[in-house]
Amino acid sequence: MSESQPNAAFTPRVFSGIQPSGNLHLGNYLGALKRFADSQTAGIQSIFCMVDMHAITVWQDPEALRRQTRELTAGFIASGVDPEQSILFNQSQVTEHAQLAWIFNCVARMGWMQRMTQWKDKAGKNQQNASLGLLAYPALMAADILVYHATHVPVGEDQKQHLELTRDIAIKFNNDFGVDFFPITEPVIEGTATRVMSLRDGTKKMSKSDPSDMSRINLTDDADAIAQKIRKAKTDPEPLPESVEGLEDRPEARNLVNIYAALADLSVEQVIAEHGGQQFGTFKPSLADLAVAKLEPISSEMKRLTADPAQIDTILRRGSERAREIAAPIMEKTYEIVGMVR
């Protein structure tokens, strides 16, 4: 708790980013987009970023990157993130991200970067051949957050290590220069209940990289595809349990109940109270109806929005201008602290 003390001087501000790497799915919606939309009502200023510069740490086809950046923006808006209330933009349009990332490249230590599990996973055995950007990735992420003096960062569990590194960078910068300039950011880690698992294997996360399209519900799937994927989802032969404890050791059943609860804004207890004892032959159609009712409007809104790329580009440009109003003075002050002649 002692670390939260320095933040007393900072206005609460939420920042989060998602890579425009394609194939938005139900996991992204329930684990990120829907939560972002819900958090807007709390009245805290929220900044959401399509991190296109993070995406190119591994090869991206330029046309696909552009399309996916617009599609992700449409996904945010279709999920209920209001581009007027929140700030919605793509990273490369606010050059302060790259500028602060360079300063942080000079604050962070090689050893910190090489310890990151995501670096080890993504670079694999062939580290010599990975891009330098992939190694430096967490310094850019720290810059994303700190260039807004963001205090709260909602992310999935897998990003926790990068947020700890963000704190380390802020602490070292503040110490090195004898200032109290960057806040010590609080991670807002998503609860396990919103970890959406694969429809083919309840022990694996639903993921865009799963080779089986039946393992995930894409936000672009139509009603038939959604219903079919739920009907064919893997389950065990038992009916749903009468109590929440009965879901333990039944990963597929638990996943479907969790999805139902998250989509309906109910607790798992409430879902079990209503559906406990049902066979999957009964529960799956209810879940399919619910999923179609909730997701179909999102997918059609995404279609409508992506049909007009110019409008999306206008939203991103406007968001970038607003983002820049916050980032530019913080960047200026950073240069001054570091000793750059301005």
Binding site for ligand AMP (CB under 6 A): 18-19, 27-28, 30-32, 155-156, 194-196, 205-206, 208
> Taking CB under 6 A as the rule, does residue 194 contact ligand TRP?
no
> Min. distance of Cβ 97 from ligand TRP in angstroms?
9
For 125-159, what is the HEC assignment?
CCHHHCCHHHHHHHHHHHHHHHCCCCCEEEECHHH
Reply yes or no on whether 208 is catalytic: yes
Phi (first) and psi of residue 103, to 5 degrees? -60, -45
The entry of ligand TRP, ligand AMP, none that residue 205 binds, CB within 5 to 8 Å by partner kind = ligand AMP
- Residue in 172, 204, 208, 234 annotated catalytic: 208
Question: Which residue type sits at 16?
Answer: S
> What distances in angstroms separate CA 132 from CA 37, 98, 119, 212, 327, one per listed residue?
34, 14, 11, 31, 25
Task: Select 194 or 334, whichever has its Cβ closest to ligand AMP.
Answer: 194
Choose the stretch contacting ligand TRP; rule: CB under 6 A; options: 72-80, 141-149, 189-197, 283-291: 141-149
The dihedral built from the CA positions of residue 290, 291, 292 and 295, taken in this order, carries a sign that is positive
Smaller CB separation from ligand AMP, 171 or 193: 193
Give the sheet arrangement for strand 87-90, strand by strand: 87-90, 45-50, 13-18, 152-155, 186-189
- Residues 9-48, mask of contacts with ligand TRP (x by CB under 6 A): ------xxx-x-----------------------------
How near is the Cβ of 91 to ligand TRP at its closest, in Å? 8
Residue of minimal Cβ distance to ligand TRP: 17
**Which amino acid is residue 31, in one-letter code?**
G
Compute the least distance from the CB of residue 163 to ligand TRP, in Å. 8
Binding partner of residue 241 among ligand AMP, ligand TRP, none, CB cut-off 5 to 8 Å per kind: none
Contact (Cβ atoms closer than 8 angstroms) between residue 153 and residue 15: yes
- Taking residues 146 to 185 in sequence order and writing x for each that binds ligand TRP by CB under 6 A, - otherwise, the string is -------x-x---x--x-----------------------
Neighbouring residues of 223: CB distance < 8 A, sequence distance ≥ 6: 292, 296
Instruction: Name the packing angle between helices 280-306 and 62-78 (round to 10°).
Output: 120
Q: What is the CA radius of gyration of the chain?
A: 21
Q: Which does 331 bind (CB under 5 to 8 A by kind): ligand TRP, ligand AMP, none?
A: none
CB-based closest residue to ligand AMP: 31
Catalytic residue among 205, 229, 284, 294: 205
Residue 147 has which token pair? 């260039």
Active site residue 205: yes
**Closest CB to ligand AMP among 77 and 331?**
77
Taking the C-alpha atoms of residue 84 and residue 219, their distance in angstroms, rounded to an integer, is 23
Work out the number of other CB atoms within 10 angstroms of the CB of residue 338: 13
For ligand TRP, the closer of residues 118 and 278 by Cβ is 118
Of 27 and 319, CB closest to ligand AMP: 27
Enumerate residues 6+ apart whose C-beta is below 8 A from 188. Answer: 14, 152, 153, 154, 155
Q: Is 333 a catalytic residue?
A: no
Which C-beta is closer to ligand TRP: that of 144 or that of 221? Answer: 144
**Catalytically active residues, by annotation:** 122, 205, 208
Interacting residue ranges for ligand TRP, rule: CB under 6 A: 15-17, 19, 51, 54, 141, 144-145, 153, 155, 159, 162
